[in-house]
Structure 1
Amino acid sequence: MLKKMTPKTLTLCAFGIALNIVGSNLALFLHLPLYLDTLGTMLCAALLGPLLGMLVGASTALFVGLTTDVFSLYYSPIQLLIGAIVGLLFKYLRSPKKWQILSVAGVISLPGTLTSTAITYFLFNGITSSGSSMLVQLLSGLGLQKALAIFLVQLGTDYLDRLLTFYLVLLIVSALKKRQLFTA
């Protein structure tokens, strides 16, 4: 169930979308093998719950897809998955502990990895706007089957991206709660 939409909630959602857009475009323009497009999704999911996290992720995919990177539209299911998973993790674990970061990053990234592997393989034959496409082409050129190359690259890049992003979210949520700036 959605909470009442307050100015604070709307502002945080808009800020989350902006964070995602900046991160996404930074990764796109620098051809990074990371995506940096889910910080706002995870932050809103952690603070506001899975539905608003999913809304932020879907809004980001739509905006970025219509402005700077059309591939983003096709990967919107990953944003939805991340919003749902992070929101549920924070709902049931409250605030995951630092020692749980490695395993939680795996829980967050694996469903998206499987989904993005299928999207990348079936829709784009391994070539997207992401810097990780270069790694896929390299592995394929070395003789690895394309689907396996895509999966391995997605597994590594997704996990690293989600690990970094989730750690930042934990730091931000912890700082907000210590200063009592946000009580969700």
Structure 2
Amino acid sequence: MEKKLNVRNLTLISFGIALNVVGAFIAYSLRLPIYMDSIGTIFIACLLGPKYAVITGLCGSLVSGMTFDIYSIYFAPVQISTGYLAGLMYKKGFLKGIKTPLGVFIFTLPTSIISAMISAFLFGGITSSGSSYIVQVLSVIGVPDVLSVFITQIFTDYADKFVAVLLIGGCVNALPRNVKSQILLNR
């Protein structure tokens, strides 16, 4: 069955992009150690699936990168990975109930590796994120630079994605049953 990009799906994707950009702007402005740039991506992964989540994440990175945080563009592969893997984890039931911490870990590990490689090798671990402060502290106490970036990314990515999944899980569960079934029916 051919999936079509209809007005409802396009509107949901646009809303997901807006969630990503607003979340990233808040984290950027407050220099939070989490990123908040994948809330919309995970939302779309749960509602529409991996394909549309990838589009949402990529567009969110591009909009953030063109408006207030140039580093976002370089981290677009992280959003692509997040959208795809979160969509798969949701489909398999790993982002619901007691399986949530494991599901978040499963999709966070590859995205953390990708983001750590981008951060370490392109930027030396120093980006616009508040997690850069953690990298600098670890470096000062003697942890090698690349290792400090990897350690920081694993912990901050997991915290970021876990918070996003909890928020989105609450929102998806709060949707009226008829709205949820209509969205998921056309998925």
1:92-138 residue CA offsets vs partner (Å, 9 max, x unmatched): 33x74311111111012111110111111110011100000011001
TM-score for the superposition, normalised by structure 1: 0.94
TM-score for the superposition, normalised by structure 2: 0.93
Query: C-alpha displacement at 1:143, in angstroms?
Result: 0.6
Query: C-alpha displacement at 1:182, in angstroms?
Result: 2.4
* Contact 1:2 1:52 (C-alpha < 8 Å) held by counterparts: no
User: Which residue number corresponds to residue 75 of structure 2?
Assistant: 75
1:103 aligns with 2:106: no
**Over aligned residues, Cα RMSD in angstroms?**
1.4
1:180 aligns with 2:178: yes
- Structure 2 SS opposite 1:180: helix
5+ unaligned residues in a row in structure 2: which ranges? none
Mapped partners of 1:48, 1:172: distance in 2: 14
Mapped partners of 2:178, 2:145: distance in 1: 49
In the TM superposition, what are the counterparts of 1:160-175 in structure 2 within 5 Å?
160-175=159-174
Instruction: Please tell me the residue identity of whatever aligns with 2:165.
Output: F
In the TM superposition, what are the counterparts of 1:1-184 in structure 2 within 5 Å?
3-93=3-93, 96-176=95-175, 178-183=176-181, 184=184
Consecutive aligned runs of 4 or more in structure 1 exceeding 2 Å deviation: 90-93
Query: C-alpha displacement at 1:171, in angstroms?
Result: 1.3
* Contact 2:125 2:145 (C-alpha < 8 Å) held by counterparts: yes
Query: C-alpha displacement at 1:180, in angstroms?
Result: 2.1
* Contact 2:9 2:48 (C-alpha < 8 Å) held by counterparts: yes
Q: Count matched residues.
A: 182
Distance 1:2 1:28, change over 3 A: farther
Instruction: Please tell me the residue identity of whatever aligns with 2:101.
Output: L
Identity of aligned residues (%): 40
Instruction: Please tell me the residue identity of whatever aligns with 2:3.
Output: K
